[in-house]
Structure 1
Amino acid sequence: MRINVKHETTYRYDAGPRRVMQLLRLTPEDFEGQNVVDWSIDLNCDAKLRQKRDPHGNITHMLTVDHAPEELVITASGIVECDDSAGLVRGVRETLSPLTYLQVSELTQPNAAIAEFAADAIASKTSPLDKAHALLAAVYGHMKFETGTTNVTTSAAEAFANGNGVCQDLSHLFCAAARSQDIPARYVSGHLFRRDGENNQEASHAWAEAWVQDLGWVAFDPAHGISADDHYVRIAVGMDYRQAAPMVGTRMGGGMETMAVTATTSGRALRQSQNQTMGDMSQSQQ
């Protein structure tokens, strides 16, 4: 798929802040099955952007705006070509051992109920890949996708107990369940070109990756019950949402603040010859 992405964040303040500082995780990178054709970050005012890598290998930008306007608009947009690699994630810059992602965080702490749920899900499975797929099916089957019931501070345990949430919550639960069974897993943020046409959203998408012995990282989307394919644009990874969030920061002054986000995607299929060539390269998989 050739996917067009536009992610726009608008901050409105009572008065223009003296300074705004944000860490942005908005930029995708090239790897097997994902080719960034064009990408940019634009603002509606003068600003400084400094690019670097975070500990997880994500491309980040430190944004600094002095004397920001009362309305600050940050727009990340571009074109990404994606191939269906059956969920396999290869060729990304790995800075940490997969074992790092056995650690738990506040949002992905598995309690006894999650550990029992995960153990039951994989009880009849022997291969690492089958276990990961069993966890995907279990989370997808247990959770009802429902907006307005959780927020960015909701933990996997809370969402599991309630039985509902959004893509962030299902991804947190998948990571918690996998780690409880000694399967390294990490949270992924990015964009999804949806087959149902609902491509004007109020947030970006989230899914997870599990480390499968002899295969490497494999991407699973528990919100849809599938492995990620050529409709997914991968942006950032982390232990949970907080380490892969599109942006986080602080400001000086400005009074009260509101924030609005729109994430829009559109796409079209690549030519058959391109799909075949890229497929051959990748297989050998709020």
Structure 2
Amino acid sequence: MRRWCTNAREVVVGEGAVTVVLAHGYGVTQASWDKILPSIAHVNKVLLFDWDFINSVAGADDGEEAEARYTFGRFADDLIALMDEREVRGAVFVGHSMSAMVGCIAAARRPDLFAHLVLLCASPRYIDSEDEGYVGGFEDASIHAMLGAMESNFQAWVKGFVPNAAGSVAVEEHIKHSFLAMDPVVALGVARMIFLGDEREALDVVPTSCTIVQARHDFAAPPVVAEYMQGRMASAGTGVTMEIVESAGHFPQLVASARVADILDGVLLPLHNKGAYDAVGAPVHVASDVEVDGGAIDVMT
């Protein structure tokens, strides 16, 4: 089975002791980090990569149905494999959207790889569970209607969805281009994994301290979800804090890049002060080489 992460690259400027791993979210590529990369790379080693759903073609790798082969656990295994391959230990992992939960699962499986998780616009469950009192932001019928719209006419769905998700006209074309680069069948398979999934139990076993970063007006992952994550993780004993970014849309690293960079600086500074160490105390070695008013949004468009 082919690996799901490609185009891995390391950015090394100077002798930064901390490695930052940047994992992009659904529909975009590592280019979504471009606005904050210079700030991070100035004093840190940075590892970036692309999840392969951007360039995958359904049926190109094996006989498994595209909609069945994508799972959070398998993305986590690929992240672990990449970090092992690049000899990364004790990293600060920044996961956007779906990658946030991938990072939580990977950290539970391999705590030695991670010093801190930054969970940007994360959600463990998008569908409301009324009997449990859980608010994910969407009703079950709305999610299935959205998936139906994707299956019926993917390009039309992208053109309606991206303006809500972008949060700024300035970044709409960039995001739309990335979304449209996905094979529609692959895109639907990954979307089913994300929007129908329930990874709430993963929050109970995260062994690494976390910073949840939430956009104030994110229709996909509203602040109530971030509050739920913080409460559940804290109850499980995870050290967790939350930062709110005063921006709209699901991509604050693009529309409020200075604020996101400042938050990351705050996470990284204590690690620089004490030095980066692996689980047994040895120095880490890294190989070099939208509705703003909060009203309802029709996710079908």
Global fold match (TM > 0.5): no
Q: What TM-score do the two structures reach when normalised by structure 1?
A: 0.28
Higher relative contact order (CA 8 A, sep 6+): 1
Q: What TM-score do the two structures reach when normalised by structure 2?
A: 0.27
Q: Rg: which structure is higher?
A: 1
Greater helix proportion: 2
